[in-house]
Amino acid sequence: MNLRNYLKVYKKFLHTSLASELEYKTNILVDLITAILSLVGSIFLLSIFFQNSGYIGGWKFEQALIIQAIYTILNGITNTWFNPNLTEIVKHIREGTLDFVLLKPIDSQFFISLKKINPSGFLEIMLGFFLLLFCIRINQINLSLSFLILSFITIICSICILYSLWFFISTTTIWFVKTWNAIEVLRSFLYIGRFPLNSFSFSLRVFFSIFIPIAFITTIPSEVFLGLSQLWKILLEVIVASVFLITSRKFWLFALRFYSSASS
């Protein structure tokens, strides 16, 4: 299949999953309200941290809001694509319905990663963008071309790292069958991404940079927005994202050799 066909299939994925979700109007409404309340709650929590001291880890409240905005965008992407699809992998493997995916003449990783979308996640993405625009204004950031390119690259890299981590954990289901807990642990680590990396102790900074690179996901894009980032950090994020993406792909293809399907 060529790229044109993949785009055609993705259009169908969008159509069918939107149609499926729109079958349950109340559920969408509840999700939308949850997204708004969650963002308001997070900003409130952040403002409490900054109440006594104007700075945390060298970041002002207005600057830390950028991290919150990027986190909201990434969380929206997680809720729109990763959550409905990657949590389904566990179900596919446990119930043996991965059989149907593997027998289609289409890349199995593409199929299971993008088949569904949750439209309520779009609101979160939009809220994140509005908050980001607001932060650009209050922090008086100049919107130059190089700034836009670097921000785009770092956010794409963050999405790749997040996706790869999640996909990697879901793939282990082929051996361990149940990995809900590991995904929950990953989600709770992601909450840490709402705070600047410098606000943690040295050992935690190392842990969140090397072992679970949550720091790369939000802090580096935020530093780009504030003009604080150094080129080597951006390059490092690109390398980390590429390594994670390639490794998760190879790991999936390797794991499929051990797929034994569910008994009938």
Partner 1 sequence: MVQNIIDVRSLSKSFDISSKEPGLKGTIKHFFNRQTKSLKVIKDISFEIKEGEIVGFLGANGAGKTTILKMLCGLIYPSEGSILVSGHLPFRRKENFLKNITLIMGQKQQLIWDLPPIESFYLNASIYDLDKFEAKKRIKKLSDMLEIDEELFIPVRKLSLGQRMKSELLAALIHEPRILFLDEPTLGLDINAQRNLRKFLQKYNKETNATICLTSHYMKDITSLCKRVICVHEGAISYDGKLNLLLKKLSPVKEILIVCRSEKDAIKLESSGFTIKNKIKNEITIKIENNSITSSLKTILNNFDIEDLFINEPPVDEIIGKILIKKDYDI
Given the rule CB under 8 A, which residues bind partner 1?
Answer: 1, 5, 8-9, 11-13, 15-16, 19-20, 23-24, 95-97, 99-100, 102-106, 257, 259-261, 263-264
Query: At its nearest, how many Å lie between partner 1 and the CB of residue 200?
Result: 34
For partner 1, give the closer residue by CB, 45 or 106.
Answer: 106
Beta carbons of 205 and 215 less than 8 angstroms apart: yes
Which residues are CB-contacts of 88 (< 8 A; sequence separation ≥ 6)? 112, 115, 116
Print burial letters for 136-162: b (CB count within 10 Å at least 16), e (below 16). beeeebeeeeeeeebbebbbebbbbbb
**DSSP conformational letter for 54:** S
In the complex, the smallest distance separating the C-beta of residue 186 from partner 1, rounded to whole angstroms, is: 23
As measured in angstroms, the least distance from the Cβ of 240 to partner 1 is 31
Which is closer to partner 1, CB of 49 or CB of 100?
100
Separation between Cα atoms, residue 62 and residue 68, nearest integer Å: 10
Q: Identify which of residues 24 and 49 has a Cβ nearer to partner 1 in the complex.
A: 24
Lookup: tokens for 141: 């950031």
Q: Which is nearer to partner 1, 51 or 181 (CB)?
A: 181
CB of residue 57 to partner 1, shortest distance in Å: 41
